[in-house]
Amino acid sequence: MDLKYVSKNVDDTLTLAENIESEKFPNMVICLEGELGSGKTVFVKGFAKALGLEENITSPTFTIIKEYPNGELPLYHMDVYRLDEVEEDIGIKDYYKKGGVTIIEWADLIQKDLPEERLEITFKIIDENTRVLVFNPIGKIYEDLCESVL
């Protein structure tokens, strides 16, 4: 079941992320895919703000994982774009059961390490401001979430 949402600007993406955050639950996993500049980190910023986090959210491109423990739930923000440069197991799967929300940018690069149930969102650039977000909920809880929000 693919669902689509058209974001006409950054504010639309932030609002959508805030709405999804309102349906959050422990051990939630959101997988973001899309080319550079498509809005993945903007989405994480909106989600983090709704969690009550005041930190400046940036993409953890070189650190791979940033932990934000001080929100309503902990947020684990991952950017696995450079993961092929990391030779050891960094424990990504451990985060899925830490009771927080895990959001993974470039999740398609670690397909084999993703949990069985998750929410996949693909960002497609239409023009300078417009993005189409394609939602693929995998698992009943994520299907219900999409029905509530979209």
- List pLDDT tens digits, range 94-145: 999 999 999 999 999 899 899 999 999 999 999 999 999 999 999 999 999 9
State if pTM tops 0.85. Answer: yes
Buried b / exposed e across 119-146, counting CB within 10 Å, b at 16+?
A: bbbbbbeeeeeebebebbbbeeebbebb
Secondary element (H or E) of residue 63: none
**Mean pLDDT value across residues 78-98:** 79
For position 88, what pLDDT does the model report? Answer: 54
The tokens of 17 are what?
Answer: 């992320």
Task: Say which residues have a Cβ less than 8 Å from residue 8's Cβ, sequence separation at least 6.
Answer: 129, 130
The answer, yes or no, to whether residue 16 has pLDDT greater than 60, is yes
Residues 52-69: tens digit of each pLDDT: 998 989 887 777 899 999
Secondary element (H or E) of residue 25: none
Task: Say which residues have a Cβ less than 8 Å from residue 36's Cβ, sequence separation at least 6.
Answer: none
Average pLDDT in the chain: 93
For position 124, what pLDDT does the model report? Answer: 98
Cα–Cα distance measured from residue 81 to residue 75, given in angstroms and rounded to the nearest whole number: 19
Q: Are 85 and 61 in contact (CB under 8 A)?
A: no
Q: What is the CA radius of gyration of the chain?
A: 14
Which residue, chain included where needed, has tokens 């023009």? Answer: 127
% pLDDT > 70, the chain: 96
Domain 3-149 is in which class?
alpha beta
